[in-house]
Amino acid sequence: MKFTLSWLREHLDTDASLERITTTLSAIGIEVEGVHNPAAELGSFRIARVIEAVQHPNADRLRALRVDAGDGRELSVVCGAPNARTGMKGVLALPGAFIPGTGITLKLGEIRGVKSEAMMLSMREMGLGDDHTGIVDLPEDAPVGETYVTWAGLDDPVIEIKVTPNRGDALSVRGIARDLAAAGLGTLKPWEVQPVAGAYPSPLQWRIDDKRACTWVLGRAVRGVRNGPSPKWLQDRLVAIGLRPINALVDVTNFFTFAYGRPLHVFDVAKVAGPTLSMRMARPGEELVALNGKTYALTDEDGVIADANGVEALGGVVGGEHSGCDETTTECFIECALFDPVRIALSGRRHDVRSDARSRFERGIDPALLPKALDAATRMIIELCGGEASEVSAAGAEPGWARSATLRFERIAGLGGLDLPAGEAERRLTALGLCTVAREAERITVAVPPWRNDIAGHGALDQDPALPADRARQAAEGCAAVEPECDLVEEVLRLGGLDAVPPVSL
């Protein structure tokens, strides 16, 4: 997973340096795979103004430009972009600059008899997107001579982490911020969401036909939307972490996937054969033409979202092309659902679909977040696209996620090898959001928050049915007694830094 430093700071109030943040992440068990700062590659590119753009005297498809580089020089530039024109502002690369989108180092040259002393760049040539239809066309108020990354706010390091299979909560910027705050690097900022009142009945209703496909789902429509390109800040954020902006409605769903670890999907209401969307298992012979352009032959082990005409999405894995939102969408329907992690993993593996939604659902997401996430996404869509929201449609029910775990303080040293005062152990647990239920001199019992399904969970593996009944019962009781405490020991150890745990003999 990738995220920018500025995005992290929106959730974490901290003055810690980039180096301290990355060092702490690795120390608490979230491995940092790398840090990339676009400013390192793009730092030499500057904003320039085209003084004059005329037809190249010896080439029909080229234009000869005179460019103000912002340092008192006027440079001759040969350009093949169809949008190059007198008076525009763009991004200029000087000789010796490395062009990341092409892999070349720029040199002085002459093209068809006209000197070319620099290069006006497209987004793709800068490695900031796929657009190569023309050179970057900047607003009139862009300051000539200033470095492009400074003006565009791209001097923002991108941190890439590796997340273990048990830490679904760490596949979100907010989850990372929560861990860093618990490790002492600042304070987790509050995230308050005001409920959105419904202005009209939802045009689509949820129905769960098979609980194997889905256990709980919420949804609501927003009508009167204007779906075009998302604002620059959102596009920049997605591009920075390697995603391609599509349109405002889709970009909002990708934002929530990474910001809060909460995958969402939007349907175009006009393309759904309503009035019901059902969660069910696929039927023999059904296929899905997915948003990635591929067609999947489904099996009766795949949970799907279907309308009256058939399958519209492989639930929790990938949406369908037919009902996707585009620039013609005027009413969307937001899906916010809870899927079984094992079934999602098996479906994704069966069809070889690697999606951001799958990677989160198969690890397990916060089962209590659905109402809050739906309201927050609704507000963001209305803010970006206009419109008004419908009432919420729901099916199924919030699962019983509440559970507790008990830690005997002596086990921190006995199992973990680290001598730690009981008060510090309690502080570390509560800093993660594990609330104290009972505290004695020798032990503490904490309530586990919904975003940590890996602590004191039931596990995904079934017992071997061939086990004798007595042995199976004893094994189950032993796991229930031992595993939650081991989970708490691990949390206490890692928050102080795994490098601080002394190596001791087993």
198-230, pLDDT tens digit by residue? 999 999 999 999 999 999 999 999 999 999 999
Residue range 306-322: mean pLDDT, rounded = 95
Average pLDDT score, the chain:
94
- pTM reported for the whole predicted model: 0.85
- Assess whether 168 and 33 both reside in one domain: yes
CA-wise closest residue to 368 among 255, 212, 213, 261: 261
Q: Picking from 261-270, 284-293, 474-483, which range would have the lowest pLDDT averaged per residue?
A: 474-483
For residue 130, pLDDT over 80 is answered with no
Angstrom CA distances, 13 to 9, 180, 308, 440, stand at: 6, 10, 48, 33
CA-wise closest residue to 172 among 152, 191, 196: 191
For residue 457, pLDDT over 70 is answered with yes
Angstrom CA distances, 406 to 43, 107, 448, 453, 456, stand at: 52, 67, 10, 16, 9
Q: Sign of dihedral through CA atoms 143, 148, 152, 155?
A: negative
- Assess whether 130 and 233 both reside in one domain: no
Query: How does strand 31-36 pair with strand 205-208?
Result: unpaired
For residue 265, pLDDT over 90 is answered with yes
For residue 394, pLDDT over 80 is answered with yes
Give the separation between CA 231 and CA 229, rounded to whole angstroms.
7
For residue 129, pLDDT over 90 is answered with no
**Looking at residue 2, what DSSP letter applies?**
E
Is 318 inside any structural domain? yes
- Assess whether 414 and 350 both reside in one domain: no
Which of the four pLDDT bands, split at 50, 70 and 90, describes residue 87? very high
For residue 458, pLDDT over 90 is answered with no
Residue type present at position 376: A
Token pair of 134 as six digits: 């023309």
**Looking at residue 416, what DSSP letter applies?**
T
Which of the four pLDDT bands, split at 50, 70 and 90, describes residue 64? very high
354-379, pLDDT tens digit by residue? 999 999 999 999 999 999 999 999 99
Is 111 inside any structural domain? yes
6-25, pLDDT tens digit by residue? 999 999 999 999 999 999 99
- Assess whether 233 and 267 both reside in one domain: yes
Give the helix ranges, DSSP H, for 153-288.
Answer: 173-182, 232-240, 248-260
For residue 132, pLDDT over 90 is answered with no
What percentage of the chain has pLDDT greater than the value 70? Answer: 99
Give the separation between CA 506 and CA 498, rounded to whole angstroms.
17
Q: What is the DSSP secondary-structure string of 183-214? A: TTS-EEPP---PPPPPSS--SSEEEES-TTT-
Give the separation between CA 492 and CA 486, rounded to whole angstroms.
10
Is 505 inside any structural domain? no
What was the pLDDT predicted at 477?
85
Instruction: Please identify, among 396, 424, 439, the residue that sits at the C-terminal boundary of a domain.
Output: 396
Q: What is the CATH number of the domain that holds 474?
A: 3.30.56.10
- Assess whether 460 and 494 both reside in one domain: yes
For residue 90, pLDDT over 60 is answered with yes
Q: Are the C-beta atoms of residues 257 and 358 closer than 8 Å to each other?
A: no
What was the pLDDT predicted at 460?
57
What was the pLDDT predicted at 459?
63
- Assess whether 382 and 448 both reside in one domain: no
- Assess whether 102 and 85 both reside in one domain: yes
320-367, pLDDT tens digit by residue? 999 999 999 999 999 999 999 999 999 999 999 999 999 999 999 999
- Assess whether 297 and 420 both reside in one domain: no
402-431, pLDDT tens digit by residue? 999 999 999 999 999 999 999 999 999 999
Q: How many domains does the chain have?
A: 4
Give the helix ranges, DSSP H, for 314-416.
Answer: 341-351, 356-361, 370-385, 410-414
Q: What is the DSSP secondary-structure string of 298-330? A: --TT-EEEEETTEEEEETTTEEBSTT---TT-S
- Per DSSP, the three-state class of 270 is helix
Q: What range does the domain containing 308 cover? A: 205-396
- Assess whether 221 and 236 both reside in one domain: yes
- Assess whether 267 and 332 both reside in one domain: yes
Q: Are the C-beta atoms of residues 266 and 334 closer than 8 Å to each other?
A: yes
